Amino acid sequence: MPLLRPFSTDVPGGGSMAVKQVTRSNFNAALESLRACVEESDFVVVDLEMTDVTSAPWRDPFEFDRSDVRYLKLKDSAEKFAVVQFGVCPFRWDSSKGSFFAHPHNFYIFPRKELPLHGPPDDFLWQVTSIDFLTKYQFDFNACIYEVSCAVEQEGEALKGLSSEYLEGLANSFCNFEEPVDTPIA
């Protein structure tokens, strides 16, 4: 059965669109390009590459976990592992060609402190299976560590400025939600 809406990374006029690797040196230009692509897109896909996703087998979320249990399992893993690449891909439908055009951008992210004045360094786990997976798909570890965009480096420091009470409030409101109740309309 043929695809009704095939995907394409072809550039109008021929050729192909390579994935834009966003680094320190091209961050500002790439961000402007991405903004333009997002504004013209029909939908946007986001993908994260992490140093792993589950801290232990019993931390895997299961289909029958309550929402609060699932949240705590995912929270534990999210706190232990780091995001090393953030992918954003706007898609635009071209009705004349009958396909989508993709404009993928990869942002390398590596946790580091700009100034060593604010406490101990950040620690995170990096599991061998994740290194193997990333290597298999030609992940550029040097670019990840040495070519991180300056704007992304400062994100961690900015997030630490958020009140821990605010973050706890968010977590509590997520975990302690009430089940919806059907209310008849009079």
pLDDT in tens, 24-56: 888 889 989 999 999 999 999 998 887 777 766
The residue-averaged pLDDT of 127-143 equals: 85
What distance in Å separates the CA atoms of residue 126 and residue 76, rounded to the nearest whole number?
Answer: 14
CB 101 within 8 A of CB 12: yes
CB 34 within 8 A of CB 90: yes
* Element spanning 152, H or E: helix 150-153
Beta 99-102 vs 20-22: how paired, if at all?
Answer: unpaired
Beta 99-102 vs 83-94: how paired, if at all?
Answer: antiparallel
Domain ranges of the chain: 7-175
**Which token pair is 165?**
């009470």
Q: Is this model's pTM higher than 0.75 or not?
A: no
Question: What CATH code would you report for 7-175?
Answer: 3.30.420.10
Closest CA to 51 of 105, 138, 110, 104: 110
Q: Would you state the torsion angle of the CA atoms of residues 64, 66, 72, 73, taken in this order, to the nearest 10 degrees? A: 0
* Model confidence pLDDT, tens digit, residues 65-80: 888 888 888 887 778 8
